[in-house]
Structure 1
């Protein structure tokens, strides 16, 4: 999936959650980390993944790339290296897909 398609898919998932209530309390955050890297956090309550957990999973590349993901049933967290944002969005969508 191309970058544009990944962003469209994430946007569509978010839009599908917005029901007049959910978006006032929950949402999706994408921010930078100081190590450096990126962090994507998705609130799961009220979605089809509410209560679904994901054991911490770590992928470390030899070229400095990395990806960490976990979900505690309330929040999905996907963190990655500074050049791995596309990979992190893909991992986020993989978890959120039915």
Structure 2
């Protein structure tokens, strides 16, 4: 991965984890808008046990998890700390 970069005001940090059918893992980090946060994190990943518990143990199979977080540096690890994950109750500070 390259050097960290700051997302512009009004955007969010997204980490995408893509696990292939051969259990290979690719990790992507990017800046996204709020709609992408809602769609990819809240709708597609936040209720998936394999995403919420990612890193606690191997989950075989092919899948994608998206983690959207709200403060500078929050996606420095693969899975952001829960307190920084985007929610509909997030308040900008």
Q: Structure 2 length as normaliser, TM-score? A: 0.30
Bigger relative contact order, structure 1 or 2, given CA contacts below 8 A and separation 6+? 2
Q: Structure 1 length as normaliser, TM-score? A: 0.29
